[in-house]
Amino acid sequence: MDIELRNVVYRKRVKIMNVPVHVCVDEDCDHSQVVDVIKDDLKSLMEELGQHPQRQAIEFEEMSELSNLLVLIANEKVNSTVRELLGEKVNELLDLFLLAQSLGDEKWMLELRERLTKIMV
């Protein structure tokens, strides 16, 4: 199976863009499913939107580190490797963690730990 970035429509009103989805590469197979690592993020977003959400479009990469990384890779114009882009993202999050730590912002530090954990899985 390959991973593609797809749009997911929630309650026929919300278009969630750039959701990582496993897609069967066999032409006789039309199976696809959301990547396990981001299921909790997607579920949390849907719970937050509620049963009767406003009509809107949401960029999922703003809520999911994996989606964000995949969008960066898809949009990359130069021949950077996935490893290089992942390293840059980890360094960026670690820099933010140091800033949060210096400010004593425990909530931000926890959020950054969670974000790091999700892309290192």
pLDDT given at position 87: 85
Kindly list the distances between the CA atom of residue 44 and the CA atoms of 39, 47, 107, 112, in Å, as whole numbers in the listed order.
9, 5, 18, 17
The residue among 76, 1, 70 whose CA lies nearest residue 31 is 1
What are the structure tokens assigned to 48, written together? 């937050």
State pTM to two decimals: 0.72
3-state secondary structure of 108: helix
Give the tens place of pLDDT for each residue, 18-43. Answer: 999 988 888 788 888 998 888 989 99
Tell me how far apart the alpha carbons of residues 69 and 34 are, in angstroms, rounded to a whole number.
16
